[in-house]
Amino acid sequence: MSKLTFARAINAGLRKSLENDPKVVLMGEDIGALGGVFRVTDGLQKDFGKHRVVDTPLAESAIIGTAVGLAYRGYRPVCEIQFDGFIYPAFDQIVSQVAKMHYRTQGRVKMPITIRVPFGGGIGSPEHHSESPEAYFTHTSGLRVISVSNPQDAYTMIQQAIASDDPVLYFEPKRRYHDKGEVDETADLSTALSMEKARVVTPGSDVTLVTYGPLVKTANDAAMAAADEGVSVEVIDLRSLAPIDFQAVEASVRKTGRLVITHEAAQSGGLGAEIAASITERCFNYLESAPVRITGFDIPYPYSKLEMHHLPDLDRILDGVDRALGRGNSLSGLEG
Amino acid sequence: MSKLTFARAINAGLRKSLENDPKVVLMGEDIGALGGVFRVTDGLQKDFGKHRVVDTPLAESAIIGTAVGLAYRGYRPVCEIQFDGFIYPAFDQIVSQVAKMHYRTQGRVKMPITIRVPFGGGIGSPEHHSESPEAYFTHTSGLRVISVSNPQDAYTMIQQAIASDDPVLYFEPKRRYHDKGEVDETADLSTALSMEKARVVTPGSDVTLVTYGPLVKTANDAAMAAADEGVSVEVIDLRSLAPIDFQAVEASVRKTGRLVITHEAAQSGGLGAEIAASITERCFNYLESAPVRITGFDIPYPYSKLEMHHLPDLDRILDGVDRALGRGNSLSGLEG
Amino acid sequence: MRSTVLTDEPGQDAYKAPNPGISAASPRRTGGDLVQLISPEGERISHPEFDLWVSDVTDEQLCSLYEDMMVIRRIDAEATALQRQGELALWPPLLGQEASQIGAGRALRDDDFVFPSYRDNGVAYCRGVEPTDLVRAWRGNASSGWDPYRHNIATQQIIIGSQSLHATGYAMGIQHDGADSVAVALFGDGATSEGDVNEAMVFAASFQVPVVFICQNNHWAISEPVRIQSHIQIADRASGFGIPSMRVDGNDVLAVLAVTRIALDRARKGGGPTFIEAVTYRMGPHTTADDPTRYRDANELEDWAAKDPIARLKALLRTKGLLTEEVEAKTQAKADEVARNLRAGVINMPDPAPLDLFKHVYSTPNSWIERQKDHYSRYLESFSGSTQEGAL
Amino acid sequence: MRSTVLTDEPGQDAYKAPNPGISAASPRRTGGDLVQLISPEGERISHPEFDLWVSDVTDEQLCSLYEDMMVIRRIDAEATALQRQGELALWPPLLGQEASQIGAGRALRDDDFVFPSYRDNGVAYCRGVEPTDLVRAWRGNASSGWDPYRHNIATQQIIIGSQSLHATGYAMGIQHDGADSVAVALFGDGATSEGDVNEAMVFAASFQVPVVFICQNNHWAISEPVRIQSHIQIADRASGFGIPSMRVDGNDVLAVLAVTRIALDRARKGGGPTFIEAVTYRMGPHTTADDPTRYRDANELEDWAAKDPIARLKALLRTKGLLTEEVEAKTQAKADEVARNLRAGVINMPDPAPLDLFKHVYSTPNSWIERQKDHYSRYLESFSGSTQEGAL
Ligand SMILES: Cc1ncc(C[n+]2csc(CCOP(=O)(O)OP(=O)(O)O)c2C)c(N)n1
Ligand SMILES: Cc1ncc(C[n+]2csc(CCOP(=O)(O)OP(=O)(O)O)c2C)c(N)n1
Ligand SMILES: [Mg+2]
Ligand SMILES: [Mg+2]
């Protein structure tokens, strides 16, 4: 066991993958000598060489498009997109090629591509540096999408993503990069929890609170605050955003009868909508109240002086918990 | 009143906009001499000249990106994306520029850009020609998204879209291009139903059936078939997909207590999720059963010999109506 | 390089020089000379340098190139007919581009890897793809027809230009492996406007990988003449990326063979990427759904018919006394047989099963897909015993 | 065009010719000569052609260019300091690029329209943007600082290369209007790899619109040396699109002024697009968040410090006897004043109000936004009277 920051944990996972499989190749902008703008690939080019840790020209579509070609040739490319907001130039290659190639070729050509995306807000950045684009990809059949919330999962799941024969979008909560946590670097990957599975991170009985990535910590804090008020909140870290482990959420909601979902992405068409809809379908008769979504607003990510108003925080989550419980809340008295 | 096909109705609307506002410029691939692959722009270049109906080089990002520049200069570009599956190369320009420019500039720069997208399946096409990408855009704050289901709306709403100071994605149900309908070309645009509003196209009292674009016709057919079985289905044509006129849906569901949503796009993260979640939030106490989604599957759009299995049809919609009503249906006896 | 230059280039305006009096660097033309080894009249034009690259082509091989072109033209015609008869949903004819595709396709080594577009059926044929497999996707029976690894050719790309990046990435893999095979990207004149094709050149040049870009400039992108994409020659694009280019008469199978071999050889020897512009003409519609009379002049087609790639090779064979009755008969028989098999293959192609929908979305089990498949199979079963059973 | 050529080009490898013995067209270099009118030592290099374009520059104007460069360097330094002090969230210094930006900025007419990147604060300054407005977005108080229509300069683009298309589209509008103004796109060397920049050249060339692409090749894209983007000169890219290009010493304000004027003049007269590569150097970090010691050699920085654009102009002014104490004092005073105002403007900038979040998402009322705004204002009100009130 060692205490690692989030960024170091991913770095360690990447290192392990590079060591274990000569077909693993890292590519992206500034990932070499600089080690990436967040230092996640720090030292890897030095240790594995310029052919395995490749500084590419500045073109996202080409990063993903050449990764498709490398995958065709039997490689396992791990692409870094420098910030969430820079993934859109590569959207076509991701949606029309990476996601569809296996289906298109009737399983003959595999796309074991991992796309690492530092995502989410809260670090005071200018435009395009704080987006939460995950719903674009969870709506794209053929992709797997995961997000990690702690250094141990970051370490394990980056290796699982790279080992997966399916393409994986790996969303890294950039505002947690410096958070530290215990990481067991010796743990056996084959016995690790499947990357498709959610995890109950705080058990509880009154309300189910579902989230992922950067807000898992906030949700846990909210659960602690709620406990002080005598409300028992069960926090579920989804880990996998596509597919979502609905069985885990369902099991919890059958118990609590109440659901709150929180994410930073805009509300309309965000993951919260899918979770609310699916859970309502699956356990309508168990629900005591409508699922509540506490999310970013339907606005472009705002300039940083206002971002704390946009991002769900402990208070807003607790207000959502109150809503789910039918207790007094900011919308009390409002109809519809 | 004249009887026009869908395609001719859009053509007539475009013509009107070109006539009324010298700042309107059409741009796209093959929209000139050819009149577009669906002939929607037929004859317009001949009548308005190459400077107002512009055949562009083959580059979607540039079509939208130069439209942004034209809008900056005070123009109202109307861009045609040849098929749904070719919009992704322009995704970055749409999401990072078109959608955000007004917010970014604090309202100083308007983006009155209309992006016309023939969308949806059912015409036996090869890959990339039958996609339903609307949810990517409804999740993108700053865009308006509409879809039309009949020639009259097609005619009116293309003009409303062009007249709008906000950017509008205008989704045209390509498999309906040849359907005919009455179009009043003299109707006053200023008194037309706002493009933000939904419309009840078949009134009913037992179940609310919500859809848009190509499936409105199918939904109406399903309502007629249901009526034969004594079930009264109220069909709502959303028309606006962002924002959705939830008040209209809400009013209907408060009456019926049951909701079925149908669209061609994949289920996970599709519009059905947002509608189910929002309506559950807004009228939880009125719902007699969980909202039902009848949609395309979570697969890449399939090759054409299987597309009729992927696309919701009358039978699948009726099965969904049965589910909403708690009557015998294909999933009877299944838990969750 | 003093080969004959095609005189009329209807699609290409001469580049207009900027304001005179301004000495700023003006764009130079590279690749301005069109490589040609057979004249439109079927004369063999000798060229000290390019001849070297086809000196091994025996008379027999010339006949075999002829056969390939005849066969692929026949496949193309048969597929067009099958579409007209409702057996295929759509077909993109290659009529007129046989020399470009056979010349390029026959230059390749088995271990080279091709990333083609929808129109490159001639190249796919050279790679050994079964004619029936060529049309599988166009019938709607599958999203692609063959196993890329069996023939070392990817499935046909529909997103314009996308495959140029795949080829470049594959070439990065070849370089990484230390192999001496080559990745080849095929695309059209229209594709050169797409960001992806340009980014592919950036990457290919930056990493100096073994990739050959072959652009068939058939003068049209659906209804758009090539001058909408570029006022200067397409081959000139490459030099701005530091990639050498060649411009070849795409209706001259020998010339295409020669320049492709040159490019492949350079790539194998570590010389990096090359860009080839094969100047040819799309004699048919864009696809069977297209109506070219709406946008192009019949005269233009006539002009190009006079440069027909097959007629040209035929004339050469005739001059050389190679076009014997026996050769004619054999070629005809082969073409007939291939067409017959294609037709039979299409008509007997079994329809896919409904639940195939859910196959291969992922390579490992996926809970969402499993659930939807389960629900849909229950749905299908719900009709059993009802009157609709037969419909399934 | 025989101006002196900068000898050391650390970022650019010479293009390696392909295998010898192959006569295929190899890429030619265009724009290989670097336009220079002031040597690094501050000598005025006369050039019969380019001199014409700056012959109207009086001594006074030379001093004014000097002042601009001094002021913008001071603004840059002050903003960097403000960032270090926590008053700005981030700042992208332009240190070293003053000549490129002031030379280009001062060549423009009021009715030209500029599409800049995040680093082009010098150009924005020339357009009359208030220094305080330059930093508004970097403080996080707004997503952009100024009204584009007031200064005819768009807000600063962060998505690399995106603005090249906006400029091209704007130029399409100018052409459509029959006006003689020009759209200008500014971007970096790294940006030339993005599809958008290449597509912009395709459109600009196809429509022959009045746009000038100015690429400041500052040798780095964050940590990546320019040779990762291209092995040949950046200016050469343009010729492949049929766009003439010029390569200019970007640390020579007079030379930049001259070539920008040439390009603008050509555009105004209907001559279409021009591409300018201004060869310069980013002497600071990429942004205040960057640590260049991780990836670049201190020697390189030293080499370029010897070519400092301000020192160079200063030397020329000194030689010409223009650098009087008075001029020095006036310049200093101006820079001090601007910096003072900037600091005061930053520190006194009022914070935005929470509900500003919902402003300007759409230009017309939108039911979703209204509802969320209403809910959020209720939420904020729900704290009223509680202990947290002060926090709002
Ligand atoms: C990204 C994208 N945009 C548009 C289309 C529609 N489209 C199909 S073929 C074609 C023209 C292609 O022209 P060219 O590259 O010259 O190839 P050719 O068809 O002549 O072989 C277009 C616009 C597409 N398939 N993909
Ligand atoms: C599409 C996109 N990809 C990546 C980035 C991250 N990024 C910001 S600046 C930069 C380097 C830009 O280099 P260059 O174009 O040379 O401009 P310079 O910073 O040197 O002025 C990168 C990669 C971005 N802003 N946008
Ligand atoms: Mg073509
Ligand atoms: Mg740079």
What are D248-280's pLDDT values in tens digits? 999 999 999 999 999 999 999 999 999 999 999
Q: What is the pLDDT of residue C76?
A: 98
- The string of DSSP letters for A43-76 reads THHHHH-TTTEEEPPS-HHHHHHHHHHHHHTT-E
Residues of D recognised as catalytic: 282, 286, 295
Compute the nearest-CA separation of B24 from chain A (Å): 27
Cβ distance of D206 and C198 shorter than 8 Å:
no
Mutate to test the interface with B, among A58, A60, A96, A275 (most CBs of B within 10 A): A96
pLDDT tens digits along C26-50:
333 344 589 999 999 999 999 999 9
Cβ contact C347:B296 at 8 Å: no
Name the phi and psi angles at C100, rounded to 5.
Answer: -60, -45
Residue D9's pLDDT is: 38
CB contacts, 8 Å: D289 with chain A: 37
Model confidence at A321, pLDDT cuts 50, 70, 90, reads very high
pLDDT surpasses 50 at B70: yes
Task: Evaluate: CB of B61 within 6 angstroms of ligand 1.
Answer: no
Percent of chain A with pLDDT over 90: 97
Query: pLDDT confidence of B299, banded at 50, 70, 90?
Result: very high
What is the average pLDDT across C86-111?
98
Are the beta carbons of B69 and D143 separated by less than 8 Å? no
Mutation site, C363, C369, C375, interface A, largest A CB count within 10 A? C363
**Ligand 1 contact via C292 beta carbon (within 6 Å):** no
Res D32: pLDDT: 53
Residue C126 region by backbone torsions, left for phi larger than 0, else alpha for psi between -120 and 50, else beta:
alpha
The residues in D 229-248 lying below 8 A from C, measured between CB atoms, are 229-232, 235-247
Contacts of C265 in chain D (CB under 8 A): 19, 22
pLDDT in tens, D275-332: 999 999 999 999 999 999 999 999 999 999 999 999 999 999 999 999 999 999 999 9
CB pairs under 8 A between B and C: 127
* DSSP letter (8 states) at residue A81: P
Nearest of C31, C90, C375 to residue C215 by alpha carbon: C31
C289 Cβ inside 6 Å of ligand 1 = no
Contact A96 B103 (CB under 8 A): no
CA D216 to ligand 4 center in whole angstroms? 7
State the pLDDT confidence band at B333, using cuts at 50, 70 and 90. Answer: confident
**What is the whole-number distance in angstroms between the Cα of residue A50 and the centre of ligand 2?**
21
Residues on chain A touching D227 (C-beta within 8 angstroms):
none
Pick from B70, B96, B242: which is nearest to D172 by CB? B70
Q: What is the pLDDT of residues D13-29, one digit of tens each?
A: 332 333 322 333 333 33
Residue of A73, A75, A275 to mutate when probing chain C, most C C-beta within 10 A:
A73
Cα of D75 vs centre of ligand 2, distance in Å, is 22
Counting residues of chain A whose pLDDT is more than 70, the rounded percentage is 99
Q: For atom 4 of ligand 2, which residue has the closest CA?
A: A86
B34/C294 CB distance under 8 A: yes
Using a 6 Å CB cutoff, which residues line ligand 2? A 29, 58, 60, 82, 86, 89; D 119, 158-160, 187-191, 218, 220-222, 282, 286
pLDDT tens-digit readout, B55-69: 999 999 999 999 999
How many residue contacts between B and D have a Cβ separation below 8 Å? Answer: 142
- D219, D220, D228: which to substitute to probe chain A, counting the most A Cβ within 10 Å? D228
CA D68 to chain centre: 14
- Residue of A30, A58, A125, A174 best suited for mutating to test ligand 2, as the one with most atoms within 8 Å of CB: A58
Ligand sitting nearest the alpha carbon of D97: 2
Q: Is the CB of C96 inside a 6 Å radius of any atom of ligand 1?
A: no
B28 lines ligand 1 (CB under 6 A): no
Distance (Å) from the alpha carbon of B306 to chain C's nearest alpha carbon:
6
Q: Where are the alpha helices (DSSP H) in chain D?
A: 59-84, 98-105, 121-126, 131-139, 148-151, 162-177, 195-207, 226-229, 253-268, 298-305, 309-319, 325-347, 367-381
Query: Which residues of chain B neighbour C294 with C-beta distances below 8 Å?
Result: 33-35
Contact: B102, D363; criterion CB under 8 Å: yes
Helix ranges (DSSP H) in B112-205: 134-138, 151-163
Minimal C-alpha gap between B219 and chain C (Å): 19
The two structure tokens encoding residue A63: 């990063």
Write the pLDDT tens digit of every residue in A216-254.
999 999 999 999 999 999 999 999 999 999 999 999 999
Q: Region B217-231: what's the mean pLDDT?
A: 98
Give yes or no for residue B188 having a pLDDT over 90: no
Atom of ligand 2 nearest to the CA of D191: 15
Element (H, E) at D296: none
What is the predicted pLDDT for the residue at C33?
83
The pLDDT score that the predictor gives to residue C387 is: 43
Cα(D1) to ligand 4 centroid in Å equals: 26
| A-contacting chains (≥3 CB pairs under 8 Å) | B, C, D
Please tell me the number of the ligand nearest to residue D162's CA.
2
The C-alpha of A20 sits at a distance from chain D's nearest C-alpha, in angstroms, of 28
Q: Which helix (H) or strand (E) holds B270?
A: none
Largest CA distance in chain B: 63
Residue of chain A minimizing CA distance to D384:
A330
CB-count burial class (<10 Å; 0-12, 13-18, 19+) for A165: middle
Mean pLDDT for B187-193 is 91
Is C246 in a helix, a strand, or coil? strand
Q: Active-site residue C74, yes or no?
A: no
The candidate with the shortest Cα–Cα distance to A144, out of A114, A188, A187, is: A114
Beta strand A168-173 pairing with A199-202:
unpaired
Ligand 2 nearest-atom number relative to CA A30: 23
* B129 noted as active-site residue: yes
Q: What is the mean pLDDT of residues B24-46?
A: 98
- Could you tell which of C97, C198, C222 is best to mutate to test the pocket of ligand 1, judged by most ligand atoms within 8 Å of the CB? C222
Of B102, B129, B263, B310, the catalytic one is B129
The two structure tokens encoding residue D209: 């619109």
Percent of chain D with pLDDT over 70: 90
Give per-residue burial for D49-65: e unless 16+ CB within 10 Å, then b: bbeebbeebeeeebbeb
Decide if pLDDT at A5 tops 60: yes
CA-angle at B78, arms to B72 and B82, nearest 5°: 130
User: Over pLDDT 90: what percentage of chain D?
Assistant: 89
For residue D11, pLDDT beyond 80: no
Phi-psi region of D379 (alpha: psi -120 to 50; beta: other; left: phi over 0): alpha
- ipTM of the predicted structure? 0.96
Q: Do C221 and B29 touch (CB under 8 A)?
A: yes
User: A251-260, B185-194, D2-11, D139-148: which range is least confident on average?
Assistant: D2-11
Q: Is the pLDDT of residue B336 over 60?
A: no
Single pTM value for the model: 0.96
Pocket test for ligand 2, best of D222, D228, D237 (most atoms within 8 A of CB): D222
Q: What is the pLDDT of residue D255?
A: 98
Catalytically annotated residue among C295, C318, C371, C379 = C295
Secondary element (H or E) of residue C302: helix C298-305
Q: Do C372 and B267 touch (CB under 8 A)?
A: yes
Q: Nearest CB to D89: which of A124, A300, A310?
A: A124
The pLDDT of residue C7 is above 50: no
